[in-house]
Amino acid sequence: MRLLLLMIIITLMVSSGCETVSPIYRPTTGGYLGADISPKKTWSCWGSVVNASAAIDEDLTTIARGRFNSAGEEITIDLKRLCLFQTIIIEHGQFERGYCHRLSILTSVDGKNFTKQYDTSGARRVTIILLPKPTVARYIRLKVVKPGPERWAVAEIYLQ
């Protein structure tokens, strides 16, 4: 009898439009605001690593590689306009141990004044970095704080 009564109450709640859990996202006038990222082919890249531009060339066989296995190696990406993102993915390509133990993410809107957004650890093969909050920036700098088992290797960088 209790089960039948419980089923009737649940059915009435669902049919009357009552929600037991509030939705995570609510629709807005402009729809869901997700990442807004410039086309990758417009980006430019430089840094202390050898072949820095390989990190954004959409080819996993080319690698930007640290000159030494030491702190201070860095890559800076110019997205060519202000972009909104929250996730950075670093593909290490054929050098699966080419990650760093500690990596710092810095961003800038003008290319001169960089603000540290986050420090994180790397991982084998692919390092996925979820920033604590959505970030607006034109420039992204990835800087090795503590090197890993091998020289830093970056086959590709993706933003989401």
Question: 72 in helix, strand or coil?
Answer: coil
What's the pLDDT band for 15 if we cut at 50, 70, 90? low
With H, G, I as helix, E, B as strand and everything else as coil, classify residue 53. helix
- Residue 16 in any domain: the answer is no
- Specify the range with the lowest mean pLDDT, choosing from 19-28, 36-45, 84-93, 112-121: 19-28
Banded model confidence at residue 10, pLDDT cuts 50, 70, 90: low
Residue 151 near residue 121 (C-beta atoms within 8 A): no
- Does residue 25 sit within a domain? no
In a domain, 8, yes or no: no
Q: What is the pTM of this model?
A: 0.78
Measured CA to CA, the distance from residue 19 to residue 13 in angstroms comes to: 7
Residue 26 lies in a domain: no
Mean pLDDT, range 121-144, rounded to an integer: 93
What's the average model confidence in pLDDT over 140-160?
Answer: 95
pLDDT for residue 158: 94
| 3-state SS assignment for residue 143 | strand
Structural domain for 106, as ranges:
36-159
The reported pLDDT for the residue numbered 96 is 84
Is residue 11 domain-resident?
no
Q: How confident is the model at residue 14 (pLDDT cuts 50, 70, 90)?
A: low
The total domain count for the chain is 1
For range 57-67, the mean pLDDT = 94
Whether 18 is in a domain gets the answer no
Which letter, b or e, does each residue of 20-52 get, where b requires 16 or more Cβ atoms within 10 Å of its Cβ?
Answer: eeeeeeeeeeeeeeeeeeeeeeebebebbbeeb
The type of residue at 109 is V
What percent of the chain has a predicted confidence (pLDDT) above 90? 71
Q: What is the largest CA-CA distance in the chain?
A: 74
